[in-house]
Amino acid sequence: MISKEVVVNNGTGLHARPATLLVKKASSFKSDVSIEFNGKKANVKSLIGVLSLGVTKGAKITVLASGDDEALAAEEIVNLIANLED
């Protein structure tokens, strides 16, 4: 399992459009990918799960990946979150 921290810089946090992009990216990997925020954890392949965390701008979240392509999955998810724009 790989764990990486990232800060959400997107003005709206991980809401509708950015969350959809995140789910699409995560779904392209075989590994299980999840994020943790404020003590809650959600599967990144679930739009409802990501939205339910209520991640806002400036939040520090942890990306967790476990599986065959966990290193690549964690790296690409962290890069996507770090580079999301409004």
What residues act catalytically? 15
The pLDDT value given to residue 86: 67
The pLDDT value given to residue 19: 95
Instruction: Write down the pTM of the prediction.
Output: 0.94
> What is the 3 state secondary structure string of the chain?
CEEEEEECCCCCCCCHHHHHHHHHHHHCCCCEEEEEECCEEEECCCHHHHHHCCCCCCCEEEEEEECCCHHHHHHHHHHHHHCCCC
- Residues 66, 69: Cα–Cα separation, whole Å: 8
At residue 85 the predicted structure's pLDDT band, cuts being 50, 70 and 90, is: confident
CATH architecture, domain defined by 2-82: 2-Layer Sandwich (3.30)
Mean pLDDT of 13-38: 96
Q: What is the pLDDT of residues 27-60, one digit of tens each?
A: 999 999 999 999 999 999 999 999 999 999 999 9
The pLDDT value given to residue 79: 96
- Domain ranges within the chain, ordered by starting residue: 2-82
